[in-house]
Amino acid sequence: MATAVYPGSFDPVTFGHLDIIRRASHSFEHIIVGVLHNSAKSPLFSVEERVKMLKEETKTLSNVDIESFSGLSVNFAREHGAAVILRGLRAITDFEYELQMAQTNRVLAYDVDTVFLTTSLEYAYLSSTTVKEVAGFGGDIDKFVPPLVAEAIHQKMQRRKGVINH
Ligand code: PNS
């Protein structure tokens, strides 16, 4: 299979995302990870920071590129000549949202299909939101994200606390 785009928020990237990227990199010639720049949301990390962390964590995968995007995922796919949008499926709770998104995308762009990889069992519970919550309460996040990302989360949280306390 040729090129796939893997869109997401990645705020921040977790071991679950990295597992999907690594496994998909064996099945597709080229993976372009699309980091959504969504002005309606207020992420913990800027889009530049999220891109930088993903670049660092995927630097050994020669057929993986990281880019930011805004707007529709199907347009991002078409701009890169990708006929596939890649998504990870963790549990039944993801299914309804993912199905709705895949079907919407299919109506928007009949030439772009969504391919799902089921998340490896050891990461099936994991989400960026949970990681941020655990870190926010001072919990250990080393099993959820790579060291560089864990450090970045701690720094961000410290800075936020500093701003609140001053
Ligand atoms: O990591 P996330 O937050 O689950 O990723 C969601 C994402 C970025 C894939 C989704 O929100 C998206 O595709 N946004 C771009 C806008 C779009 O294409 N919307 C139509 C599909 S419902």
The reply to whether 89 falls in a domain is yes
Q: Does ligand 1 come within 6 angstroms of the Cβ of 14?
A: no
Look at ligand 1, atom 9, and give the residue with the nearest C-alpha: 8
DSSP-assigned states of every residue in 70-114: -S-HHHHHHHTT--EEEEEE-SHHHHHHHHHHHHHHHHH-TT-EE
Please report which confidence band the pLDDT of residue 92 belongs to, taking 50, 70 and 90 as the band edges: confident
C-beta of residue 65 within 8 angstroms of C-beta of residue 32: yes
User: Is 20 close to ligand 1, i.e. is its CB under 6 Å away?
Assistant: no
Assess if residue 142 is contained within a domain.
no
pLDDT at 91: 84
Segment 135-147 mean pLDDT: 96
Please check the confidence at residue 166 and state whether its pLDDT lies above 80.
Answer: no
Which atom in ligand 1 lies closest to the alpha carbon of residue 87? 9
Cis preceding-peptide flag for 43 (omega within 30 of 0): no
Is 65 inside any structural domain?
yes
**113 located within any domain:** yes
In a domain, 83, yes or no: yes
Q: How many domains does the chain have?
A: 1
pLDDT at 105: 98
104 lines ligand 1 (CB under 6 A): yes
11-67, pLDDT tens digit by residue?
999 999 999 999 999 999 999 999 999 877 889 999 999 999 999 999 999 999 999
Residue at 104 is within a domain: yes
Containing structural domain, residue 65: 3-124
Atom of ligand 1 nearest to the CA of 100: 22
pLDDT value at residue 164: 56
**pLDDT, tens only, 57-87:** 999 999 999 999 999 999 999 999 999 999 9
- Would you say residue 36 lies in a domain? yes
Question: Model confidence at 89, in pLDDT bands (50, 70, 90)?
Answer: very high
- Can you give the CATH number for the domain in which 111 is found? 3.40.50.620
Please, are residues 19 and 85 in contact by the beta-carbon 8 Å criterion?
no
Does ligand 1 come within 6 angstroms of the Cβ of 105? yes
Q: Which atom of ligand 1 is nearest to the CA of 101?
A: 22
The pLDDT value recorded for residue 125 is 92
pLDDT of 141 > 90? The answer is yes
b (16+ CB within 10 A) / e for 130-140 = ebbeebeeeee
Q: Is 157 in the pocket of ligand 1 (CB under 6 A)?
A: no
Ligand 1, atom 21, lies closest to the CA of 101
